[in-house]
Amino acid sequence: MLTDWQSIIDDFKNVVPGVEFWSLRLVHDETEMLSVREDVVQPPNLAQSRGAHISFIDRGGMSYAATSALTREGLAAACEQAQRWLEASRRHGLIDATQVPRPELSGHYATDVATSWDNWSLRDKLELLQDINRSLRISPAIVDWQAHLARRRTDIRLVTSDGVHIDQQFHYIIPGYAAVANKGAQTQERSGGGWGSSRQGGLEQLAGFNFPDGARQVAEEAIALVDAPECPVASADVLLMPTQMMLQIHESIGHPLELDRILGDERNYAGTSFVTPDMFGSYRYGSDLLNVTFDPGLAPEMASYGFDDDGTPAERTHVIRDGVLLRPLGGVQSQARAGMNGVATARACDWNRPTIDRMANLNLEPGNSSLKELIGSIEYGVLMDTNRSWSIDDSRNKFQFGCEFGRLIENGELKGLVRNPNYRGISATFWRNLAGVGDAGTFEVWGTPNCGKGEPNQMIHVGHASPACVFRDVEIFGGE
Amino acid sequence: MEQYFRELSSTLFTGLAAGEILLLNYQGEDSDFVRLNHNRIRQVGHVRQQSLQLDLIHRNRETSATLQLSGRLDEDSAQAQHALGRLREQLPLLPEDPHLNYAAEVHNSIYHGEDQLPAPEQALEQLMTAAQGLDLVGSWAGGEMSRGFANSLGQFNWHRGHNFNLDWSIYREGDQAVKQNYAGFEWNDEFLAQKIACARETLALLGEKPRQLKPGKYRVFLTPSALNELMDMVSWGGFGLKSHRTAQTPLLKMVREEGRLHDTVTISENHADGFTPRFTRAGFIKPDQVELITAGQYRGCLANARSAREYGAEVNCASESPQSLEINGGQLHQNDIFSALDTGLYISNLWYCNFSDRNHCRITGMTRFACLWVEQGRPVAPIDVMRFDESIYRILGDCLEGLTHEQEQILDSSSYEWRSNASARLPGALVKEFTFTL
């Protein structure tokens, strides 16, 4: 445990005013970042975030205060701030605070770590990153190259006035490398080794990201993409690899199913949803091949946990089964407001923000087709790998996504590279064109640490695991 | 907190070994956050956070740590000393850093903005009263923000300000809404009332049946807010020295192929006009202004401390992404916008932009909020949201017909980790051809 919470909890109990319900969420987060860019070791950084989030419910009002001052005086000042806002909440609150469900179960969760961060010395880690730099710098055409390796550890304790006590300890590993190739006014970047993603666990997770072994291939592909033809403009099939499926799931299934968006909370910022409450239970979201689960138990996936930050136990649940929409992604507050079942996804990015509905681990379940069979099913199309551009409307319907890497597929066979592969579509129809779902052999665990939402803004990690998938009749195009 | 930061700094500098240099960056925030939906309070609370970054330098090597402060000197000193101990263990394991760069000359500065903020409860009462009967959704963020810098060479800088950012939308039905913002340092009841009254007028127009545009090229007017969304994308590597030298800037054609924007386009990073501290995290003092594009031609870059050392430039920013971007105003007057547009699309807001071809600065994104179809100089109906895909070389180049004389100062409402103090001062833009794709 990073911090001895008990003395802070004791201090808090000594200063907390008499309210009907309180909860105290204590968070200690540490991130250590190492990186080497263009063979130069960048200054390492050890970032620590530690603070308390206090929530009150009292006589119909509901408010919070957060502080990094974990002294008795600091906690007392935070309690005063939360109390100050209770009255405004009572008079103008949107939610009947007396109806907000309270956590009932205590418990704990901890990430499994096989190889600890400290098993490798700082010198070993930096040498590895320098080796990767050498593997990336294979030609004068490579104009920028870098590798990073970080670890994050987060301890969260939630205690409530009802006696609930939840401890969760998370360990993350954050690796990646990238190479940028250029000729004239044409630049192409290729990334790998987990770049832009993360996993729970220790250094044993690196192999699953092909870290460091894929570095040279990344550089070779960046160089090849510079001279590759543009992705054709056509209506064609696309084969999306898990590194792009992750983004497709995130933007056009995850966000539209967030219950707070459906309830309108996000309309001023992150947006609303084309999904309405009456669709659950009957709406055909995709083809029969589409099965999507909220799965907090897939061990190395980023957003695995035992409880959400409101203290609700988390369990695997289908949100889409055989193409039919079943459940939204919403925690107990949103469920109470909407009068419908959700899943345990009330999460806060840190101690300084309140919980809102997030998507956590949202996965597309494997099907039965091998990668070879998926390719073989395509007469004319493009394989797209590794997301690099994402844009979707505020109802999460009209989207346009782009990838780092594309390969033509003709008559069931992979052909040459294409650069700047982009595609666009509409969520409400795109998933109904899902024509092939890869088997477990194509299934990969990804996610992003940078999902933004909420007012005040919150950046949080989410997990998305998926097989490779084929979609029919998609509008594809390239650059220029 | 200024005095506290001085005392804490002094304590930590006293304990340094011979040859060690320590840079300290303090960041503090005391903010209220109120979230509204359906013109009622959805979430409300207060956040107090204080952090300290320590950069320890010795024998041309640097390593750093960031920690949260409690506000109690004995506890924070002990915590920082512990962190310094860890950094001292790391330093000998690091190679020399050829890009290490920190201010060696001492430039002290103190800025204390006056606290003229209203009581947030009262400001919100006024908002909710003015918007009675309306479906208002949005947020209030306001309070004190402070930044400090101190180094063991004797430099001390302090910047403290108080501001608010009230950002909201008023919905009529479906996705038809008016987006508004009121941000600043001093509250004015009448200004807020005028804003809401103006929204009520626009809402009436949003009741008209939305036009469904077919994909194609349209004549458009981009408000400063819409242009700001596009410039946020261009700023993603567009103006940084590192991204220029590594050929990753989306403005690469301006450097490599003599690409240019319209000769009425002049873009600068106007530090003197912004709200960020004038000192950087390495202790350098920013110049008043950095010219980036002058009369349509590439002029210069933003260079942070490390890039400046690497490429032999002067440090002229804290971040290579603009924090106080300005585009000069043009000749089109505010009152003439609709008549100059004649028939086309008035784009109030754009949303979720990203590059579809970075090499050609081609950006895709969506229309959002009250974008209006205009016929013969008169707004007649809202539109259903449309996706655009267009290059900055056309929007601010070949297809630009004019920039408004009036500029709008936009205070960034974002609050990831901390409330932002970035801003932009931009005109609106009349564009003769703008491509919609979906």
Does residue B109 register a pLDDT over 80? Answer: yes
The answer to whether B169 and B369 have CB atoms below 8 angstroms apart is yes
Q: Which of the four CATH numbers 3.30.2290.10, 3.30.70.360, 1.10.10.60, 3.40.50.300 does domain B2-206 have?
A: 3.30.2290.10
Residue of B nearest to A90 (CA): B41
Is A456 within 8 Å of B48 when comparing Cβ atoms? no
Q: What is the pLDDT of residue A197?
A: 97
Mean pLDDT within B298-326:
98
- Sequential DSSP letters for A188-215: EEEEETTTT--EESSGGGGGGGTTTTTH
Mean pLDDT within B55-72:
97
Mean pLDDT within A81-107:
95
The answer to whether A348 and A456 have CB atoms below 8 angstroms apart is no
CATH superfamily of A5-227: PmbA/TldD superfamily (3.30.2290.10)
Does residue A428 register a pLDDT over 90? Answer: no
**For B154-210, how does the pLDDT look when each residue is reduced to its tens digit (9 = 90+)?**
999 999 999 999 999 999 988 899 999 999 999 999 999 999 999 999 999 999 999
Report the candidate in B249, B411, B240 with the shortest Cα–Cα distance to residue B316.
B240
**Between residues 138 and 157 of chain B, which touch chain A (CB distance below 8 Å)?**
138-139, 141
Q: Which helix (H) or strand (E) holds B61?
A: strand B61-68
Q: Mean pLDDT over all residues of chain B?
A: 97
**HEC string for B361-397:** CEEEEEEECCCEEEECCEEEEEECCCEEEEEHHHHHH
Residue B257 has a CB neighbour count (10 Å cut-off) of 10
Mean pLDDT within B297-322:
98
Does residue A2 register a pLDDT over 80? Answer: no
**For A246-300, how does the pLDDT look when each residue is reduced to its tens digit (9 = 90+)?**
999 999 999 999 999 999 999 999 999 999 999 999 999 999 999 999 999 999 9
The answer to whether B108 and B157 have CB atoms below 8 angstroms apart is yes
B194 part of contact set with chain A, CB < 8 Å: no
Is A48 within 8 Å of B353 when comparing Cβ atoms? no
**Between residues 330 and 359 of chain A, which touch chain B (CB distance below 8 Å)?**
350, 352-354
**Residue located via tokens 């199913």:** A257
B132 part of contact set with chain A, CB < 8 Å: no
Residues in chain B with CB shorter than 8 Å from the CB of A7 are none
Q: What is the pLDDT of residue B98?
A: 98
B204 part of contact set with chain A, CB < 8 Å: no
Helices and strands per DSSP (H, E), number in chain A: 9, 24
Alpha carbon distance B169, B180 (integer Å): 6
SS3 state at A218 = helix
Q: What is the pLDDT of residue B335?
A: 96
Q: What is the ipTM of this complex?
A: 0.96
If 0-12 CB within 10 Å is exposed, 13-18 middle and 19+ buried, where does residue A325 land?
buried
Mean pLDDT within A429-453:
97
Q: What is the pLDDT of residue B126?
A: 96
Alpha carbon distance A410, A421 (integer Å): 16
Does residue A480 register a pLDDT over 90? Answer: no
B191 part of contact set with chain A, CB < 8 Å: no
**For B285-306, how does the pLDDT look when each residue is reduced to its tens digit (9 = 90+)?**
999 999 999 999 999 999 999 9
Does residue A28 register a pLDDT over 80? Answer: yes
Provide CATH 3.30.2290.10 ranges for chain A.
5-227
The stretches of B298-384 forming alpha helices (DSSP H) are 305-311, 337-341
**For B200-251, how does the pLDDT look when each residue is reduced to its tens digit (9 = 90+)?**
999 999 999 999 999 999 999 999 999 999 999 999 999 999 999 999 999 9
A85, A264, A389 ranked by CB distance to B45: nearest? A85
If you ran DSSP here, which 8-state letter would residue B138 be given? E
Domain ranges of chain B: 2-206, 216-436
SS3 state at A442 = helix
Beta strands per DSSP E along A287-410: 292-294, 317-321, 324-325, 346-347, 356-357, 362-364, 380-392, 398-410
CA A436 to chain centre: 24
Least Cα separation, residue B232 to chain A (angstroms): 14
Beta strands per DSSP E along B249-305: 267-269, 290-294, 297-298
The percent of residues in chain A predicted with pLDDT above 90, rounded, is 98
**Between residues 193 and 252 of chain A, which touch chain B (CB distance below 8 Å)?**
none
- Sequential DSSP letters for B19-54: T-EEEEEEEEEEEEEEEEETTEEEEEEEEEEEEEEE
Count CB pairs under 8 A between chains A and B: 258
**For A392-426, how does the pLDDT look when each residue is reduced to its tens digit (9 = 90+)?**
999 999 999 999 999 999 999 999 999 999 999 99
Q: What is the pLDDT of residue A1?
A: 67
Instruction: Provide CB contacts within 8 A for B145, sequence distance 6+.
Output: B28, B29, B31, B160, B161, B162, B163, B418, B419, B421
